[in-house]
Amino acid sequence: MNAITLFDYWRSSASYRVRIVLNLKNVPYTRVPTSLLDNAQKAPAYVARNPQGFVPMLSIDGHDITQSLAIIDYLDAKYPEPAMLSSNAADRAKTLAQALIIAADIHPIDNLRVLRYLKDELGQSQEAVDTWYRHWIIEGFTALENMAPGDGLFGGDVPNLADVCLVPQMANARRVDTPLDQFPKLLRIDAALTALPAFIAAHPDQVKPD
């Protein structure tokens, strides 16, 4: 079996998602830390493999796969258990809709390159940048709270793609002091997930550089 290599940054929520799924599926891999603060993701050798210059990138089976949800989809096809998405069309669509509230609506406008642009190019204060960050989290979480189950995880008894996307975004929310008491179902799900070994091992505190 070819070695599997994950190029990631310890605090990247997209990378965090992929680490969780690799752990859930018990797939052994090697990490190559790629510092966003040092712009390592923009190095010519990296961009030659990943033209967007983003993390994560998974090198597997002779492929360099980019975009966290595309990576997870590949892993789901190759390692079916536990499944991140149901084979039932309606259930699959429901889970994708929940996951994409985070992965498509919150995360892209709250990631580091956008925050840097707001501050460095548009001259916004750190307070204004943090207010922006919290606004989009709260808007997305308000919808997701209404979609969340009354008990259990988004995936029922087993984490699914919505659960995998939720935990890193909750960590980001706490990092900028987002008020979360209005999201009791999300808090309950997050607490259950972050107690699981696969999520613990993927946590940024477990992989951050010394």
pLDDT at residue 4 greater than cutoff 60? yes
pLDDT-based confidence at 152, cuts 50/70/90?
very high
Taking CA atoms, 28 is separated from 186, 196, 199, 207, in Å, by 30, 18, 15, 15
Q: Do 5-82 and 89-199 share a fold? A: no
Give residue-wise pLDDT tens across range 46-67. 999 999 999 999 999 999 999 9
* Percentage above 70 pLDDT, the chain: 99
Q: Which residues contact 149 (CB under 8 A, 6 or more apart)?
A: 156, 185
Average pLDDT, the chain: 96
**Region of residue 67 (phi > 0: left; psi between -120 and 50: alpha; otherwise: beta):** left
**133, 129, 87, 125: which is closest to 107 by C-alpha?**
133
* Segment 82-104 mean pLDDT: 98
Residues in the chain: 210
Taking CA atoms, 122 is separated from 39, 111, 198, in Å, by 20, 16, 39
pLDDT-based confidence at 143, cuts 50/70/90?
very high
Report the distance separating Cα 191 and Cα 173, nearest Å: 14
pLDDT of residue 209: 87
Q: What is the largest CA-CA distance in the chain?
A: 50
CATH label, 5-82, candidates 3.30.499.10, 3.40.30.10, 3.30.360.10, 3.60.15.10: 3.40.30.10
- CATH number given to 89-199: 1.20.1050.10
Q: Per-domain residue ranges for the chain?
A: 5-82, 89-199
pLDDT of residue 37: 84
Taking CA atoms, 12 is separated from 21, 53, 101, 135, in Å, by 15, 13, 17, 19
pLDDT of residue 210: 72
pTM here is 0.95
Q: Which residues contact 162 (CB under 8 A, 6 or more apart)?
A: 95, 98, 99, 154, 155
Please give the single-letter amino acid code of residue 89: A
